[in-house]
């Protein structure tokens, strides 16, 4: 699959459409570089979003396991309850 950036500049002659051929456009490759950069950033953004969603799912799962485990711990009458989420060790 050929992208626009891979096509030779000769396919886009300046005489055919002088308005679109501005300095710094296809001739210097700036547009291609920016286009490729945006594509790569889109891919990275998608991977970050998927990773965050996966981590959120894992954290929820772990919190559910902790919650279920602490509910099922038998306590001796008179023993103070310990909050596992209070940050004290």
Cβ atoms of residues 32 and 14 within 8 Å: no
Is 29 among the domain residues?
Answer: yes
User: Structural domain of residue 12, as residue ranges?
Assistant: 1-72
- Is residue 22 included in any domain, yes or no? yes
Rounded to two decimals, what is the model's pTM?
Answer: 0.48
Q: Is residue 87 part of a domain?
A: no
- Tens of pLDDT, residue by residue over 11-69, are 444 544 444 545 544 455 677 888 899 999 999 999 999 999 999 999 999 999 988 88
- Asked if residue 67 belongs to a domain, the reply is yes
What CA–CA distance (Å, rounded) separates 65 from 81? Answer: 18
User: If DSSP codes are grouped into helix, strand and coil, which group holds residue 80?
Assistant: coil
């Amino acid at each position: 699959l050929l992208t626009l950036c891979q096509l030779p500049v000769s396919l886009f002659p300046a005489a055919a459409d002088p308005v679109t051929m501005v300095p710094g456009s296809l001739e210097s490759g700036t547009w291609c570089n920016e286009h490729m950069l945006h594509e790569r950033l889109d891919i990275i953004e998608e991977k970050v979003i998927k990773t965050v969603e996966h981590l959120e799912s894992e954290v929820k799962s772990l919190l559910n396991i902790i919650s279920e485990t602490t509910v099922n711990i038998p306590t001796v009458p008179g023993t103070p309850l310990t909050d596992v989420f209070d940050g004290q060790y």
